[in-house]
Structure 1
Amino acid sequence: MASRSHDTSRLDNTLAVIRSLRDKGPVARVDLGTLNGISSATVTSISADLLQQGLISERPPDMPRPNERGRPKTLIQLAPEAACVICIKLSINELQLVVGDYAGQITHSEHHSIDTLGLSQEALVTLLKDKTAAVCDLALTRHRRLAGICLAVQGVVSSHSGTLIWSPALSFRNAPLAALLEAHFDCPVLLENDANCIASVLATQPAYADHPNLVVIMLGYGIGMSVLIDGKPFLGANGSAAEFGHSKYQPGGALCACGKRGCIEAYISDYALYRQASEVIELPAGDSAHPSESQMQALTQLALQGQPEAQRIFAEAGRALGYGLGNLLTLFNPDLVLITGSGVRGYPAMHDAMQTAIDEALVPELVGSTRIASCPWDRDMTCLGGIAMTLQATDQQILAG
C-alpha cells in the first residue's frame, strides 16, 4: 500500500510539473516547487526523469539581474517535439484541422470548405480519416508521436461515449465518431462540444481564474454554453448538459435549427437574426440560411447605427437572452457569466433589452453578486481548448512512453 501511494503521489507531482510548464512556459526548478507545493528535491528528481525521457529541455540561465546575488537560475521547458495532438473543428460547411505541440502551441492549421449537410455518416468518417491522416503525416515529420485527437463539434455531443448526438452542421444523428477514429488512428480520440473547448481556455486566463463557478455562453450561428462548477465542467448524465440555446423562450415560437420551436437559439443565433431581418430589410446577397460573417457584420451595423427594424430584431434577441439568463442565474448562481463567440459583435445592440428582461424575470436577490460580461472574439479559441484538453487527457500515457 505504501508503495502504491508513493507511486500515485509521484505521478501527480510529475503531471503538476508538466502542466505548470505548459501554462507558464520556461520556469526554474525552484519556482516549480513553489508553484505546486513540491520540495526542491522532488522537482529535481522529476526533472531528471523528464530530461532522460526527452520531454523537457534546459534553457541557458537567466541573465543576472541588478542587485541579485548567486548564480542565475536555469530554466526548464517542455520539449515541443516530444509529442503532438490534432484538433479537428467541425462546423457548418467548414472543417479546420490544427496541430498542437507538446507545449500546447499551434504549429499548423488548415481550413477546408465542404458541404457538411450533404455528407452521410460514412462519407464524413472517410473525410475525417483522410484529412487527419494527411495532417498527421506532416506533424510526424516534426514530432515524435501523435498522442491524441480532439474532434470539437458544434452541437450536442456525449463526451462520455464519444457519440455525436446532433449537430446543425450534419444531416444524421447519434454517430459514434470517437470510436471510429480511435480504431483507425490507434490513439485516444476526444469528442467535445465546441463551447466546452472555449470555456477551458477562458477558465485559465488570469482575469477569470478566480471564478470557479463560471458560465460561458457562445453566440454565433448556433448558441452554445459551458458550465464550470468548482472549476469542473458540468456534463450531465450523458455528457450533453448545458444546452442553453435549446431551452425555451417562447413555446410554439420561431423555428429552431434543431427542428423544434421557441428555442432561445431561434431568436439570437446568426441564422435567426438574419432570417427575421431578411423579411423586412434589404440585405446583401448571400445564403440567408447560413449567413457569412460579412452578412452578419452588415446587419449588426444597421442595428448599431439606429435602423429601426434592425434595432427591433436585436432588442427581441436581447430579451430572449435576458430571460434565458434569468433561468440560468436562478438554477446555477454562477460567479460570472461570460458572453463570447463571433455573435458577440451584436451584444451592444442586445444589451439594454437583455438587462431589462433580467430585471423583469428576477428579484435582485436572485441575481446576487453574479457578474455578466462580454468577452471579445478576436481569435477562435475552440482549437486551442481542444489541444489543451487532449494534452491533459494524454499526459499520463505520454509519460508511460
Structure 2
Amino acid sequence: MASPSHDSSRLDNTLAVIRTLRDRGPVARVDLGTLNGISSATVTSISAELLHQGLITELPPDTPRPNGRGRPKTLIQLAPEAACVICIKLSINELQLVVGDYAGQMQHSEHHAIDTLALTADELIALLEEKIAEVRSTALASHRRLVGICLAVQGVVSSHSGTLIWSPALRFRNAPLSALLAERFDCPVLLENDANCIASVLAAQPAYAGYPNLVVIMLGYGIGMSVLIDGVPFLGANGSAAEFGHSKYQPGGALCACGKRGCIEAYTSDYALYRAASDVIELPAGDSAHPSEPQMQALTQLALQGHPEAVRIFAEAGRALGYGMANLLALFNPDLVLITGSGVRGFTAMHDAMQDAISEALVTELIGPTRIASCPWDRDMTCLGGIAITLQATDPQLLMGST
C-alpha cells in the first residue's frame, strides 16, 4: 500500500500549503487550514513533514496578548535556502539571469549585453551553458539545491516540446533548447513565452483574482499576449497560441519583424511607432530598428503634447490595437483584458482610437461586460513569473525527493 506521503490527496494538500506560504508569506497553521479547506490535524501533520524535510521553518511565537488570554500563534514560512531556481530572460541584445529562492523571491540578478542577432543556435546554447553554470555556482553557495531552470523568451515557443520556434531576438528558428540544457544541468528546463510569465504574476494579484478568464496584452518592442481560461494558460496544439501581435490588421500593410505584412505588431510595437515617426519627425539619434527607452519616451511625449504627426501615428496604433481586441472579445469573451508592458507608456495616446475601433468592429452585445484596463509597468515581471512557474512545476518532484 502506498505511504501517506505518496497519496495523491496528501500531495495535493501539501502543495496547497506550499503555494499559500509562497503567496502570503508566514502563516499560522490554523489559518493554513482555513485558507485551503484542510483539517487542523492534516495541516499539523503536513507541517511536521515539511519541517523534517527542511522545507519550512517556524518563526518565534507572537508576543502574548495584553489580556493574557489565548495562546500566541506560531507562524511557519518556507525556508528560502531549501532550493533555488534560475530564470533567464532572452530579449533583443540582452540576456538577464535571475536566481529565485524557494519562497519565490528574487535573490540575484545580472544583465549581459549580447548581440543576439549574431548568434547561431550552437553559440546560443554555449552562451547559456556558460552563464547558467556561473550563476548556479553562486546560487548553490546559499541554497541547498537547484531544482529547475526557466528560459523566458520574447517570441513564439513550444513549451510542450521545449523548442524555440521564432524570436525577433534571434536569426535562427526551430531550435530545441530545453532538452540540451536539461541534460547539461540535470534538472527540468522550462521554455516559456515572456507574456505567459507576466500573466502568471498578474493573475496571482488580489486585484485580478476575480477574473478567471483573463487576457494580458504586452506592448513593447513586440506585441505579446497570454490568454487564461478558467485560470489556465491557453497554449494551443504546440504551445504557440495567443500570438496576438501577428494577427492581421491590414493585409499587405506595414512590414512586421516576423517577415510578413500587416500584423498588428507592425503598427503598435515600439519599432513600428518609431519607424513611422522617423520619416516625418526629427527624433533622437539611435538605432531606429531597436529604439531605446529614452527614444520611445521622447516620441511618446510628443504625442501626449499634441504634435500632429505623433498624434496621428499613435492613433493608427490604437486603431490597430482596437481591431485586434475586437476579434479577441468576439472569440474569447474574457472577463478582463489587461494591457501592460513597457509600451503602456503610450496607451493614453492610443486609447480613444482603440475604443472607437472596438465600437466600429463589434455590436454592443459582443463587447459585453468585458473590462479593459491598463496596468503600470513599474517593474519587469517576466523573471518573477518565470520563478513562480518553475517552482510550481518542480514542487512535486522536490517533495518526492525529500521524503
TM-score (norm 2): 0.98
Corresponding residue for residue 166 of structure 1: 166
Distance in 1, matches of 2:312 and 2:68, equals 63
- What fraction of aligned residue pairs are identical, expressed as a percent? 85
Corresponding residue for residue 87 of structure 1: 87
1:311-368 C-alpha deviation (Å, 9 max, x unpaired): 0000000000000000000000000000000000000000000000001001110010
Is the partner of 2:77 in helix, strand or coil?
Answer: strand
Aligned residues: 401
Corresponding residue for residue 341 of structure 1: 341
Distance in 2, matches of 1:30 and 1:107, equals 30
Distance in 1, matches of 2:220 and 2:126, equals 28
Corresponding residue for residue 121 of structure 2: 121
1:106-132 C-alpha deviation (Å, 9 max, x unpaired): 000000000000000000000000001
1:243-270 C-alpha deviation (Å, 9 max, x unpaired): 0000000000000000000000000000
- 1:167-182 alignment, distance < 5 Å: 167-182=167-182
Structure 2: give runs of 5+ residues left out of the alignment. Answer: none
- Residues 1:140 and 1:302: Cα distance change in structure 2 (over 3 Å): same
Corresponding residue for residue 100 of structure 1: 100
Corresponding residue for residue 314 of structure 2: 314
1:163-220 C-alpha deviation (Å, 9 max, x unpaired): 0000000000000011111010010000000000000000000000000000000000
Q: Confirm whether residue 29 of structure 1 aligns to residue 29 of structure 2.
A: yes
Using the TM superposition, name which of 63-72 and 379-388 deviates more: 63-72
Distance in 1, matches of 2:24 and 2:65, equals 20
Is the partner of 1:400 in helix, strand or coil?
Answer: helix
Corresponding residue for residue 139 of structure 2: 139
Distance in 1, matches of 2:76 and 2:219, equals 39
Corresponding residue for residue 192 of structure 1: 192
Amino acid at match of 1:283: L
Deviation, 1:62, is 1.9
1:278-336 C-alpha deviation (Å, 9 max, x unpaired): 00000000000000000000000000000000000000000000000000000000000
Is the partner of 1:69 in helix, strand or coil?
Answer: coil
Distance in 1, matches of 2:329 and 2:247, equals 14
Corresponding residue for residue 240 of structure 1: 240
Corresponding residue for residue 351 of structure 1: 351
Moved over 4 A (4+): 1-6, 65-68
Amino acid at match of 1:277: A
Distance in 2, matches of 1:9 and 1:68, equals 39
Distance in 2, matches of 1:375 and 1:66, equals 43
- Residues 1:265 and 1:5: Cα distance change in structure 2 (over 3 Å): same
Distance in 1, matches of 2:247 and 2:15, equals 38
1:126-184 C-alpha deviation (Å, 9 max, x unpaired): 00000010000000000000000000000000000000000000000000011111010
- 1:2-81 alignment, distance < 5 Å: 7-66=7-66, 69-81=69-81
Distance in 1, matches of 2:320 and 2:81, equals 47
Q: Confirm whether residue 251 of structure 1 aligns to residue 265 of structure 2.
A: no
Distance in 1, matches of 2:383 and 2:6, equals 36
- Residues 1:67 and 1:320: Cα distance change in structure 2 (over 3 Å): farther
Distance in 2, matches of 1:320 and 1:354, equals 7
Is the partner of 2:218 in helix, strand or coil?
Answer: strand
Structure 1: give runs of 5+ residues left out of the alignment. Answer: none
Deviation, 1:71, is 1.2
Deviation, 1:68, is 7.4
Amino acid at match of 1:116: T
Distance in 1, matches of 2:15 and 2:158, equals 26
- Residues 1:74 and 1:330: Cα distance change in structure 2 (over 3 Å): same
Corresponding residue for residue 157 of structure 1: 157
Distance in 2, matches of 1:249 and 1:107, equals 42
- 1:292-311 alignment, distance < 5 Å: 292-311=292-311
Distance in 2, matches of 1:3 and 1:147, equals 24
- Residues 1:38 and 1:68: Cα distance change in structure 2 (over 3 Å): farther
Deviation, 1:69, is 2.5
Contact residue 4 and residue 10 of structure 2 kept, 8 A = no
Root-mean-square deviation (Å): 1.3
Deviation, 1:63, is 2.6
Amino acid at match of 1:354: M
Is the partner of 2:238 in helix, strand or coil?
Answer: coil
Distance in 1, matches of 2:5 and 2:130, equals 44
Corresponding residue for residue 216 of structure 1: 216
- Residues 1:5 and 1:93: Cα distance change in structure 2 (over 3 Å): closer
